[in-house]
Chain A
Amino acid sequence: DTAVSQTPKYLVTQMGNDKSIKCEQNLGHDTMYWYKQDSKKFLKIMFSYNNKELIINETVPNRFSPKSPDKAHLNLHINSLELGDSAVYFCASSPGLSKTQYFGPGTRLLVL
């Protein structure tokens, strides 16, 4: 009964490649998020979608493009991967903006 799930859990790829990370939540929440956690464990929000509409975009390079096909899914596509993109990416959801967020298990991205 996973509430927020992400795939893949691990992703190792070469610089310059394009990759996608998928997120699904079965909590019936309206709002979904992507966070990036760097090697120092700092968590920073990247995007937020509310009812499939982008509401937060926090100074993220346009190589990152989120897509929300429906309220239960928020995918993250990354073009032309760079070494600095290596991090753990967390998806989260909440019943509304500024409400308690539930996090997925994370996707560990390593760019070589």
Chain B
Amino acid sequence: GQQLNQSPQSMFIQEGEDVSMNCTSSSIFNTWLWYKQDPGEGPVLLIALYKAGELTSNGRLTAQFGITRKDSFLNISASIPSDVGIYFCVNSGNTPLVFGKGTRLSVIA
């Protein structure tokens, strides 16, 4: 079955630093989604990517759909304490959705 490998598993960074995380898959995907889960809450969609090579920004967040359609990255610039949480990459375009195992981000003020 499809597998999503997300890295790093966890990150501890200083406030103001930039963050980069990525996701690779064993299969080609039509859509990449990036979700964030705040502590004690449900996941919330951050960015959706629909085409290979697509680069999309949402405020301080930037995500790209890899050309091979098997990978995606998410960058966060100038991190702030509220960026703390778990970031999931998600395959979409197939059923059921497959979630990566998440990158746990901690921001030290």
Contacts and interface: CB of A to CB of B under 8 A. Distances in A.
Interface of A: 4, 40-45, 48, 55-56, 58, 90, 92, 97-106
Contacts, number: 50
Interface of B: 31, 33, 37, 40-45, 48, 86, 88, 92-97, 99, 101-102, 104
B10 to A, nearest CB: 11
6 contacts: A4-B42, A45-B96, A56-B96, A90-B42, A102-B45, A105-B42
A96 B100 CA distance: 22
Contact of B96 (A4, A41, A48, A106): A48
Given A105-B41, A106-B42, A100 B96 contact: no
B5 to A, nearest CB: 13
Contacts of B99: 42-44
A45 B97 contact: yes
Contacts of A102: 45
A8 to B, nearest CB: 14
A102 B34 CA distance: 13
Contact of B104 (A41, A43, A56, A90): A41
